[in-house]
Amino acid sequence: MYGFVKNNKGVVLILVIIFNVILSLTGLAFLYMSSNERIFVQDEVQRYRALYVAEAGFERAKSWLQCLSQDQKVAGEINPFNGEVIFEPIPAAAQGKYSVSIVPDSGNSGKVEKLYVVTSSGSVGNVIKVIKARIKIVNFARFAFFSDMEYPGGATHLGNNWKDRIWTTTADIFSGPVHSNDELSICGQPQFSKNLLTGRYEVSTSSDIFYFNCKQSRTDGGTGDPLNLPSGLYPKVDRINMFKDWNLARLKSVAQTKSGLVLVGDQNIVLYNTYLTHNGASWPIPSEASTSAALVFVTGNVTIKSNKNISGEVTKLQRYLTIVSSGSSAANGKMFVTGSINVDTNTLSSEGMLGLVASNDIIVNVPVSENQVAIQAIMMTYKSFWADGWDTKFKPPTNPTAGYVGIKGEIDILGGLIQGVRSCVGQAYASSYASDLKTGYKKNFVYDKRVLNRQPPYFPRYFEVKPFVWWEEPMKRI
């Protein structure tokens, strides 16, 4: 018999070829996927770079809006900015460029606080990203009360030590916005104003609110539930920067360039109806119709009060005026209120308003013989507002639980109070009662609501970016 031997060499060759084809196809598939992934990643990188470039343009627009003088108006659309952002170390061809436009809100006419819609377009390569936001330029004069810190070092250092806190109590009545970047301490039943549209109290913090269970009478203890504390308080909000250096530099520049009054060294200022004196020299306060700035900038300390006539009547200021004390050392930039300050708030034709701004403290320093001072001004201090002798003057002879005798010293404020670090005008017992003071001055505070429509000239400002109107437009390609 004859047998046949099969030859399998060709089969192996075919299998090798098939295997190589499969490997090649797999490699091509991986190359294709890698190429697509690389393109996708490049697109994402370009997209984010374009967004960052648009944000850079937006930040420049915010800075530009901040530097607007108070008398500058933006009537129509502005396209002031074109700039380039460099991403290192990518090639020059991939550098980003932005273009920004600013459009005033159509409802700005007649409003003190202006709104602007900012559109910033950022491009990197062939990718364009556009963001828009609404910005409000806000004046610090709008606050009835503002504090950056409620206690030196911040409330985080206080814990539950109520003795070291400065309290907002039943004596405090605010008919305007209240804000603290720190923790507010509430005892009793302070009265906050309500927003009629939202029904919420116009009080906010960037930290928290600390409640203390105050006495319900002069004789019982401090235990139990808090007394009718306001509900519906605003939640935590972003910290508001006081912009000390920028605001003071802007005020000095305006005084120098717009025929304001710039004074060097300590000054004793006395206010009259339409003029003031500084160390005996007279200066007519410009009216609102004047092109000159009704602004006094002092590089030193200021002692200030209103004039008194022969019969003892305090003269009413009938001009809109801002006075600034500023200094580079700890001894300068203080403002001493040594007597009542009065403005005309009733007669429209002769209406007055006063803004007091100090880089250092604003100190009420009144002789005991007068024991009462009225301050009609919107006051802003980048340090503290306090009363000289708050811890020694006007001590009642007895404990309030054993026949209380009221405090004789009193500070009456019509205006607003903005301060860096909250300080004292008096010291109270742990009670919700306004009159239970151990020493110092009783404070009566009334908000000057006129600031909602008109404010002291060139008063310090800040800006708000409203997150709920920030939006990002879809990516475009060119």
CATH number at residue 57: 3.30.1300
128 Cβ neighbours under 8 A, 6+ residues apart: 50, 121, 122, 475, 476, 477, 478
Residue 162 belongs to a domain: yes
Residue 405 belongs to a domain: yes
Q: How far are the Cα atoms of 33, 85, 265, 301, 379 from residue 332, in angstroms, in the given order?
A: 69, 41, 9, 5, 17
pLDDT band at 1 (very low <50, low <70, confident <90, very high): low
Query: pLDDT tens digit string along 317-330?
Result: 999 999 999 988 88
Residue 96 belongs to a domain: yes
Cα distance between residue 9 and residue 15, in whole Å: 10
- Residue 78 CB-density burial (10 A; 0-12 exposed, 13-18 middle, 19+ buried): middle
Mean pLDDT of 388-405: 64
Beta-bridge mates of residue 101: 119
Q: Are residues 86 and 151 in the same domain?
A: no
Tracing tokens 């000289």 back to the chain, one arrives at 388
Q: Are residues 240 and 95 in the same domain?
A: no
Residue 220, pLDDT above cutoff 50: no
Residue 317 belongs to a domain: yes
Cα distance between residue 61 and residue 402, in whole Å: 63
The candidate with the shortest Cα–Cα distance to 178, out of 447, 389, 426, 429, is 447
Q: Are residues 179 and 311 in the same domain?
A: yes
Domain extent, residue 91, equals 45-139+463-477
Q: Are residues 181 and 54 in the same domain?
A: no
Report pLDDT for 467. 41
- Count of structural domains, the chain: 2
Q: Are residues 200 and 288 in the same domain?
A: yes
91 Cβ neighbours under 8 A, 6+ residues apart: none
Residue 445 belongs to a domain: yes
Residue 152 belongs to a domain: yes
Q: Are residues 404 and 472 in the same domain?
A: no
Cα distance between residue 331 and residue 363, in whole Å: 13
* 3-class SS of residue 9: helix
Q: In whole numbers, what is the pLDDT of the chain averaged over residues?
A: 78
pLDDT band at 4 (very low <50, low <70, confident <90, very high): low
Of the listed ranges 32-46, 76-90, 446-460, the least confidently predicted one is 76-90
Q: Are residues 238 and 215 in the same domain?
A: yes
Residue 227, pLDDT above cutoff 60: no
The pTM assigned to this predicted structure is 0.75
Residue 403, pLDDT above cutoff 50: no
Q: How far are the Cα atoms of 14, 157, 195, 203, 387 from residue 192, in angstroms, in the given order?
A: 90, 26, 10, 7, 24
**Are 52 and 122 in contact, with CB atoms under 8 Å apart?**
yes
Q: Are residues 116 and 189 in the same domain?
A: no
Q: Are residues 303 and 180 in the same domain?
A: yes
Tracing tokens 């970016």 back to the chain, one arrives at 465
In this structure, how many other beta carbons lie within 10 angstroms of the beta carbon of residue 89?
5
ω before 89 within 30° of 0 (cis)?
yes
